[in-house]
Structure formats: C-alpha cells, structure tokens
Homo-oligomer: A and B are copies of this chain.
Amino acid sequence: MAKTPKIIIIGAGFGGVKMVKSLHKKPVEVLLIDRNNYHNFQPLMYQVATGGLEPGNIGYPVRRIFRKYKNVSFRMAEVLSIDIQKNKISTSIGEMDYDYLVMASGSENNFFNFERVKHKLLTLKSLPDALQIRNWIFQNLERALAENRKESLEEIMNIAIVGGGPAGIELAGALAEMKKYVIPKEFPELELSRMSLNLYQSGPKLLAAMSEEASEKTLEYLKEMGVNVFLNTRVSDYKNNAIVLEDGSHFITNTVIWTAGVKGSPIAGFPEEVILRGNRLSVNKFNQVIGIENVFAIGDVAAHSSIDALNGLPMLAPVAQQQGKHLAKNILRHLKNEPMQPFQYRNKGAMATIGRKKAVVDLPNFNFQGGFAWFVWMFVHVFSLVGFRDKTVTLIDWVVSYFSYDQPLGMILRSGEFKPGPAKKEIKEIEDV
C-alpha cells in the first residue's frame, strides 16, 4: 500500500481551519501547526479589549475542533524555516516532513515608520494583545485617582487609535461607549472632560474597503459618539508621551493603539523572488507559491500576482476560508493527477459595528446602516463562533450589555509574571520552545 500523502498546514486561523475541515475523511494525513493551541475569532477581538467579552468566548482550542478527525493531528509549535528541496520544515519542537505544505500563517502588525517605538504601542492582533489593552486602559483609569501620580490626567485618560479600518473604528466606537456609559458609573470621581478619543486615518475615508455610504455613516456615527476623527492625517512620531502629526501638532497620551497596517507572516527559506511587498507570498491562481509545485499559501499571507485577476483580494476571513476550502479540493485533484481548478472569490459583503444600534453592512448589491444592520451584525457574528458554549455565553453577554448599558467585564487580570515564581520559569520555557 502506498504511503498516505502528508499535508502540513501552518496556521489555525480561518483559512487553516476551513481547509482542515474540508480534508476530513479524505485519503490524506493532515498535520496542523499553530504557535497557539487555540483558534480565535479575530473580528470580535476588539470586544475582549474593551471588556465586553472574555477570551473564552471567542477562542476555541484547536484540538477540540478536530477531536473526531481521525486523519488530522495538531502540534503547538513555532515554525522556523522551510527547506524546499528536502520537503521539510524546521519547528521549535523538531523537524517535520511533508508532501504538501500550506502556508496559512496570516499576518502580523506592520509598524511602518513607528517601528522604532513599537514597544510603546498597543496592538490588537491576538488575545493577549486584547487583554493587554483592557488591562492598560482600566489601569490608567485607576491611576488617574492616585494622589502621587506624576502624569497629567490627559496623558493617562486620552486614547489615540491609529488606523481607520475595521479594527480601528470598532475599537473607537466601543471605547466611546465605555466613556459614555461605563466610566461615569464606575469612576464618578473622574472628570470625563479630560478624556479625548482620537482616531487617525491616513487616507480620505474610513473603512476604505467598504462602500461610500458605509464609510460616511461610520464617520457620522463616530463623531456623534464623541470620537475626534482625523482624516487624511498621517502620524509621524510618538515622543514625550505624545502622538506627533505631520503638521507638528501633538496629542498627549500614553495609550496608542496601532491598527494601521499588517504584513504577511511567512517563514525563512523561501526564495527572495516569491516574497512580495508586505511580506506576502506570491501565488498563482491555484494558490500555489510561484515556482514551487507542492507549496501553497492562503489567506493574509498569500498575494496573487499583479497579472492575475485575483490581485488585490482583501485580507479578510472569507477570502481565507474560501481559499482553504478550494485548495483542499485542488490538492485532492493533484493527488489523482487531475488538473487543479483556479480559485474564484465570491464576495459576500462586509460589515462593521460602531456602537449600540449603529452598524454598517455592505452586501454585493445593497448597502444598509443603522439598527437593523446592527442586529444583522450580531446575528452573523454569534452564529460564526465555534461551539455551543461560545455562542451561548456571547449571546448572554450581549443581551446583558444591551439592557444594562454595561460591559460585563472589567478585571485587570495580570498574568502570573507579575509575581516571583513559576511564571518566570514559564517565560523561559516559552522562549526555549
């Protein structure tokens, strides 16, 4: 009997998970690798950051998803490099051979001209990032009441968000609601007039990838909610605890949330010519990395070349999912020596929520905004979560918030690292891994 072909998929995001599901019970052995042992639902991460949801609501252990998949195994590991000649990858837990390799490793923050000060920025690309934002903001509010505080109130109460894409505007909206509904109840001693929320967008419109109506309505909502939106405004530096704009003006704050751009997360070992601008891997219409027969890329890390009609696909969950599903079929075809089919993207639309009864929805032929859009947004998001528990608990949290005008969660939960003890051991462990 011939050896079962082995497919290694790197990354348990939307693309990787969808692809594994599509390979269930197929005559292949699948190994899924991720540096975390969970899949997370990125679109709701901003709610973890603002105390609306717990990490457990939107994260789901990978092993649990694939428990019943006999031909699938999972390893938690950091992938270090690829050896294309030997069909082998090197990881933090050892070397692994593949017959087919799929890069579904997603994207990471691109700090552009802020690279030098990135350690002072908060980001929103992972659950720990989200918890970090939550802890930081609540801690600032607590500190604002200290007798011996050295910072000005503005420095610790102001918040700057850089980037007017979905993450930026959703976060801005959630923070504006927190300022309006939650802080006055929980910190009655604080002068809220000393707190400004500024959102900086380099281009002329918010949600650049969405319709004109969505973009305008979002701007209107945010202004209505008290967010200072700066369009066509480039941030040039962060120094002396202040955001500096290109025109030289300053905004003092120790809370800068960076949502201004991402780049692909490939690994070492790819030939230079397949790595495009933004660190993405150049793929053909079959999502095959250019020039490498058995290596593919899907989702944020994949970029269709400029001669391809697929060039410029947005870095969104549906793209990754559709590519994952399609690639699963193509690899099965390839195994049977059948010709692969070109990928085609079916645009199902996009949506974003700004606040209570304020959302924008773009469907392929129809756009709408407002309260109904908000219900549609909630419905779609709850049902997209993995598993009964995540769906139910999220629904409860939303219903409770809706009626109470509250965020259910506000604990500043520092990790074990703040105490002496096993935490340090763990840090070392992770660094070793």
Q: Give A contacts to B, CB under 8 Å.
A: 36-38, 54-56, 59-61, 63-64, 67, 73, 75-77, 92-96, 118-123, 126-129, 131-132, 135-136, 138-139, 142-143, 145-149, 185-187, 189, 388-389, 392-393, 396-397, 400, 408-427, 429-430, 433
**Can you list 28 A-B pairs, Cβ within 8 angstroms, ordered by A?**
A38-B412, A54-B56, A56-B409, A59-B411, A61-B186, A67-B185, A75-B146, A77-B146, A92-B146, A93-B148, A119-B425, A122-B422, A126-B419, A127-B411, A129-B419, A132-B415, A132-B416, A139-B426, A143-B433, A389-B396, A389-B397, A389-B400, A389-B408, A393-B393, A393-B396, A415-B415, A415-B417, A418-B430
Check A411–B38 contact: CB distance below 8 A. Answer: yes
A55's partner among B119, B392, B411, B422 (CB-CB below 8 A) is: B411
Q: Considering only CB atoms, which chain B residue lies closest to A387 in the complex? A: B408
Check B63–A187 contact: CB distance below 8 A. Answer: yes
CA distance A38 to B147 in the complex (A): 21
A392's partner among B96, B121, B396 (CB-CB below 8 A) is: B396
Chain B nearest Cβ from A353, distance in angstroms: 21
Check A420–B146 contact: CB distance below 8 A. Answer: no
CA distance A67 to B186 in the complex (A): 6
Q: Which residues of B contact A433 (CB under 8 A)?
A: 143
Q: Considering only CB atoms, which chain B residue lies closest to A430 in the complex? A: B418
Knowing A119-B424, A411-B59, A421-B121, say if A145 contacts B93 (CB, 8 Å).
yes
Known: A36-B412, A94-B148. 5 other contacts (CB 8 A): A37-B411, A94-B146, A127-B413, A131-B413, A131-B415
Check B123–A421 contact: CB distance below 8 A. Answer: yes
Check B426–A136 contact: CB distance below 8 A. Answer: yes
Q: Which residues of B contact A95 (CB under 8 A)?
A: 147
CA distance A189 to B75 in the complex (A): 11
CA distance A73 to B189 in the complex (A): 9
A61's partner among B121, B128, B410, B429 (CB-CB below 8 A) is: B410
Check B413–A55 contact: CB distance below 8 A. Answer: yes
Check A76–B147 contact: CB distance below 8 A. Answer: no
Q: Considering only CB atoms, which chain B residue lies closest to A388 in the complex? A: B400
Q: Which residues of B contact A411 (CB under 8 A)?
A: 36-38, 55-56, 59-61, 127
Chain B nearest Cβ from A397, distance in angstroms: 7
CA distance A92 to B189 in the complex (A): 19
Check A142–B412 contact: CB distance below 8 A. Answer: no
Knowing A56-B409, A122-B422, A422-B122, say if A430 contacts B415 (CB, 8 Å).
no
Knowing A93-B146, A413-B55, say if A425 contacts B120 (CB, 8 Å).
yes
Q: Which residues of B contact A424 (CB under 8 A)?
A: 119
Q: Which residues of B contact A418 (CB under 8 A)?
A: 128, 427, 430
Residue from A37, A409, A415 with most neighbouring chain B CB atoms (10 Å): A415
CA distance A149 to B77 in the complex (A): 12
Q: Which residues of B contact A392 (CB under 8 A)?
A: 396
Check A415–B414 contact: CB distance below 8 A. Answer: yes
Chain B nearest Cβ from A292, distance in angstroms: 24
Knowing A64-B410, A119-B424, A393-B396, say if A415 contacts B186 (CB, 8 Å).
no
Check A37–B416 contact: CB distance below 8 A. Answer: no
Q: Which residues of B contact A185 (CB under 8 A)?
A: 67
A75's partner among B73, B96, B135, B145 (CB-CB below 8 A) is: B145
Knowing A119-B421, A119-B425, say if A131 contacts B389 (CB, 8 Å).
no
Check A422–B187 contact: CB distance below 8 A. Answer: no
Check B396–A414 contact: CB distance below 8 A. Answer: no
Knowing A120-B425, A422-B119, say if A56 contacts B412 (CB, 8 Å).
no
CA distance A146 to B77 in the complex (A): 9
CA distance A94 to B94 in the complex (A): 52
CA distance A159 to B121 in the complex (A): 39
Knowing A142-B37, A392-B396, say if A422 contacts B120 (CB, 8 Å).
yes
Check A416–B56 contact: CB distance below 8 A. Answer: no
CA distance A414 to B59 in the complex (A): 13
